[in-house]
Chains A and B, each alone.
Chain A
Amino acid sequence: MSAILRARGLGKSYRRRWALSDCTLDVPAGRVVGLVGPNGAGKSTLLNLAVGMLAPTAGTIEVLGGSPASGPAQLAKVGFVAQDTPTYAGLSVEDHLRLGARLNPGWDDALARDRIRRLGLDLAQRAGKLSGGQRAQLALTLGVAKRPQLLILDEPVASLDPLARREFLQDLMEAVAEHELSVVLSSHLVSDLERVCDHLIVLVASRVQLAGDLDTLLATHHRLTGPRRDPATLPADQHVIAASHTDRQTSLLVRTECPIHDPAWTVGQLSLEDLVLAYMGQTAANRNHRPALEALR
């Protein structure tokens, strides 16, 4: 399967600070990709590089086989709903639909108007008067009705309340199923992505920590609990992501392709949230070199 997004050694720096560094990724087509990471991890930077809003400082990025924003053909293939879902405050909903129709040759007007009607938006209302959720829906409508192959959404639900959040994501999933879109969306909340994604990228401190299909990730990560032992004595194919110890017990989160045979361990299932938090915590611990576990005793 061809990759919808291919990054090789991709990096972006603002003056001295690297917002994204050494990012190598292959995102397969036909997925709903969740990009997760704490605030400031570089999620927006990666997505903005993918739509050509930013130019890379290092490395290369290809989206649907082309260079981002390289021309009208490339722009037509990628839809983007930017962070905070910007719309023209002074223009009405109707004006936004007209904007979409005039600026996109592939515009699906029936789809756009149908969506707006279903959402109950007033065509004459100015976008500045819409609620956050309605504005996000309007921005999504512009992104979908353009009929792209890939839709990229940067924290689309960050400013929405839990109910609007759920509705928005549900609506997004319907659009994805109907139009066979590939989607990349970012969030700093795993719970948002859990419901909708089938592929996950974890970005922490400007680096990609983990990327893969959700099923694979969950199948290759295990929580091991057993008598206290040194993680260094584990078999070579088991990589420790997180470890915690009490006086008698050791609890590990390991990644391995092979089944766990050691009868000393009790093997437990992981939730997506556990997995993501473990990877985030790993980086935090490495970065600060803090003896967190010692302090707990």
Chain B
Amino acid sequence: MIWLTWRQSRAQAAMMAAALAALAAILALTGPNLADDYSTGIAACTTESDGCSQFVQRFFHDHQGSFLAVTAVVLVLPALIGLFWGAPLITRELEAGTHRLVWNQTITRTRWLAVKLGLTGLAAMTAAGLGSLAVTWWSGPVDKSAAHDFPRLAPLLFDARGIVPIGYAAFAFALGVTVGMLVRRTLPAMAITLAVFVAVQIAMPLLVRPHLIPPKHATIEITVANLDGLRGRPGTGPTEAILRTPDAGAYAGAWVLSGQAVDASGHAIDTIPLSRTGACAPPEGGPAPPPSGAKPGDALSGCFAELKRLGYRQQVTYHPASRFWPFQWYETAIYLALALGLAGFCFWRLRHRLS
């Protein structure tokens, strides 16, 4: 049965192996240079006055295209496995009637399905694992430079790094097989598999992942780190302050779920109202350029003191960057459990309903 499974899927396996080999070759050729550029750049910029922020921005900008491309490859790979390996696994036999041939050899259906599911499933997980491993290794320097815009723990990057792609591939494969068994035709099975998989992949980071570990809460003062800007109508000066989520210090690389402004009594507010004559008002005659040598925010230090006095703060809900691996393990385990559940359903269905 192992031979038959291999014989039936060797074309697909060869295609996947070729694609992965091509990806690995490209990454292996460019990866060391990329890592060198980053480490030398970082070593050079520590002596500069404004730190490494300029170099990091430039480095990310230079490699943004390939960074997004390899990330997309890892994101799409499990879906492709579900569509082209999972869905046709059983429907192909049902459509051609060959299940009636193979189920009448001296091998039980349960064993037939076990070998097909087991081997192809393991191959799917291996392919996704290798792809993710290569991409995670290659994009390490770019991920560091992108931590500002794309923290590793936040959706998108989290789904395309580490070990979760293995779980996704196992789940997508089992999902494809299950849907195929239920609808019994390849094309509708592929369409439904894609729709369900995409829905699950969207629902997971929105609804489930934030609660896998209880998020941390913090109430922080408003400083230059989390003030996005002051807004007002022309000629009237600023009337409200707008906050952003902090991304430095303890929050570097963190997955910030929310950053809510609260007033002195602890009520959540959308924007912070400012008085036109307070410390946050611009100097007479319009905004003056900040004197050279002053750190940004110096001009606003009075404003921050004023906001603090009035009791305005920001409540932040977040997962610190150190939780990347716990989250990866939890999520992989969840997807593997889902895949096993679907596989169990397949065996049940095969014994009781399918013919």
Contact = CB atoms under 8 A, between A and B. Distances in A.
Partners in one complex: yes
B104 A75 contact: yes
Nearest to B100: A82
B1 A86 contact: no
A84 B104 CA distance: 15
A104 B105 contact: yes
Nearest to A95: B7
Interface in B5-36: 7-8
Contacts of B96: 86, 88-89
Contact of B108 (A54, A71, A79): A71
Contact of B102 (A54, A71, A103): A103
B106 A88 contact: no
A72 B107 contact: yes
B345 interface: no
B106 A99 contact: no
Contact of A91 (B7, B97, B352, B355): B7
Contacts, number: 76
A100 B105 contact: yes
Given A48-B355, A103-B1, A75 B106 contact: yes
Nearest to B3: A102
A99 B97 contact: no
Contacts of B355: 48, 53-55
B7 A82 contact: no
Most chain A CB neighbours (cut-off 10 Å) among B98, B105, B109:
B105
A106 interface: yes
Contacts of A67: none
A44 B7 CA distance: 30
Nearest to A107: B106
Interface string A210-245: 000000000000000000000000000000000000
A146 B115 CA distance: 21
A93 interface: no
A75 B107 CA distance: 7
Contact of B104 (A51, A71, A88): A51
Interface residues of A, number: 35
B104 A80 contact: yes
A152 B98 CA distance: 16
B204 interface: no
A99 B108 contact: no
A98 B108 CA distance: 18
B106 A76 contact: yes
B1 A82 contact: no
A78 B104 contact: yes
B107 A86 contact: no
A99 B4 contact: yes
B106 A104 contact: yes
Contacts of B325: none
Contact of A84 (B4, B7, B97, B108): B97
Interface in B313-355: 352, 355
Contact of B105 (A71, A82, A90, A146): A146
A282 B78 CA distance: 60
Contacts of A87: 98, 101
A86 B100 contact: yes
B103 interface: yes
Contacts of B103: 53, 69
Nearest to B110: A71
Most chain A CB neighbours (cut-off 10 Å) among B3, B101, B109:
B101
A146 B102 CA distance: 12
A185 interface: no
A120 to B, nearest CB: 22
Interface in B82-106: 96-98, 100-106
A244 to B, nearest CB: 42
28 contacts: A48-B355, A53-B100, A53-B103, A53-B104, A54-B355, A55-B352, A55-B355, A72-B106, A72-B108, A75-B104, A75-B106, A75-B107, A80-B104, A82-B101, A83-B97, A86-B97, A86-B98, A88-B8, A88-B101, A90-B8, A98-B3, A99-B4, A100-B105, A102-B3, A103-B102, A142-B105, A146-B105, A146-B106
8 closest Cβ pairs, A-B complex: A103-B105, A86-B97, A82-B100, A80-B104, A76-B106, A104-B106, A75-B106, A86-B98
Given A72-B106, A146-B106, 6 more contacts: A82-B97, A84-B97, A98-B3, A100-B105, A102-B3, A103-B4
Interface of B: 1, 3-4, 7-8, 96-98, 100-109, 352, 355
Interface of A: 48, 51, 53-55, 69, 71-72, 75-76, 78-80, 82-84, 86-91, 95, 98-100, 102-106, 139, 142-143, 146
